[in-house]
Amino acid sequence: MFDLLRNRYPAVLALLAQLLALLGVALLLVLLKQLADWRLPLWQAAVLQGGLAAALGHWLGLRRWWLPLNVAFVPALLALQVRELPSWWFLGAFVLLLLVNWNSFREQVPLYLSGARTRQRLSERLAGLPADFRFIDLGCGLAGTLVQLARDYPQARLHGVETAPLVFLCAWLRCLPYRNCRVRYRSLWHEALGSYDVVYCFLSPAPMAQLWQKAREEMRPGALLISNSFEIPQVPAQEIIELQDWRDSRLLLWRL
C-alpha cells in the first residue's frame, strides 16, 4: 500500500505525514496544558509540527526534496495568516500552482528539472550520433535540456512536449531563439515516437511501465530511450550513467 502511494501519489503520503504530525502536536499541547499548565507558543508549535511532519515523511519513504516542504507547510500557512492577506491572493496562488503542476493531477508527473550536470552528461552521451539526429524530451519542463542541446548540436532536430500551461509557455519562449528547437503543448501519450533517434524523459515511477510499452510499439530499431533516474519495472537498463549529484541521479539507457 505504502509502496503504491510512494510511487504514484507521494502528495497523499505528504498529506498523511502532515495530519499525523498535527495530531501528535495537538496531543502534546493538551498534555502540557493538563500536566504542567504550560502553553507552547503558536510559532514554536508550528515549527515542531513541521519537524515532526518531515520525520514522518522520511519514515514513510518520501524523497528528500519533500522534507523541506513538510517542514515549511504549516509555518508558511501561519505566516500568511499573520499577514492577513486578501482572499484573492489564496485563489491566485492556487491557480498558479495548478498551472505549474497540472501534470501531477492528470498524468502523475510532477515538475522535475534536469540539473546542469545531467544536461552536460546527456549532451556528451549523444556526441556519437549523426549531426542531424532527432531528439524529443517527453515532458520538457522549462526546456533546459532542449536549450543545452540546441547550443551543442545546432544541426540536430529537437522537440519537446509539455502539458502544464505555464511551464509550456516558459519552455516555448525559451526555445524561440533556436531554429532547431520546437516545443508543443501536447501530452506525451499523443506523441508518436517512431521518427526519433533519441527519446528522453524525466517523469516519475508511475508512467514508466506504460511508457516502455509505448516505446516498444513505436520506436524504431536502434533508437535510444533515456530516462533520468526512474527505472522501467522488470526491464534492467542496458547502460547506466551515474551523475553523482545531490539527488543521486542516473541516466538509464535502453536501445530498442
Tell me the pLDDT tens digit for each residue of 136-168.
Answer: 999 888 899 999 999 999 999 999 998 888 888
Q: Quick one: 148 and 204 in the same domain? A: yes
Q: What is the pLDDT of residues 230-249, one digit of tens each?
A: 999 999 999 999 987 766 78
Rounded CA-CA distance 190/200 in Å is 15
Q: What's the residue count for the chain? A: 256
Q: Which domain holds residue 44?
A: 2-84
Q: How confident is the model at residue 47 (pLDDT cuts 50, 70, 90)?
A: confident
Q: Quick one: 127 and 35 in the same domain? A: no
Rounded CA-CA distance 186/225 in Å is 19
Rounded CA-CA distance 150/178 in Å is 7
Rounded CA-CA distance 81/59 in Å is 30
Which of 39, 66, 84 marks a domain boundary?
84
Q: Quick one: 29 and 126 in the same domain? A: no
User: What mean pLDDT do residues 188-194 have?
Assistant: 93
Claim: this prediction has a pTM higher than 0.75: no
For the chain, the domain total comes to 2
Which of 84, 99, 134 marks a domain boundary?
84
DSSP 206: T
Residue 44 domain-assigned (yes or no) = yes
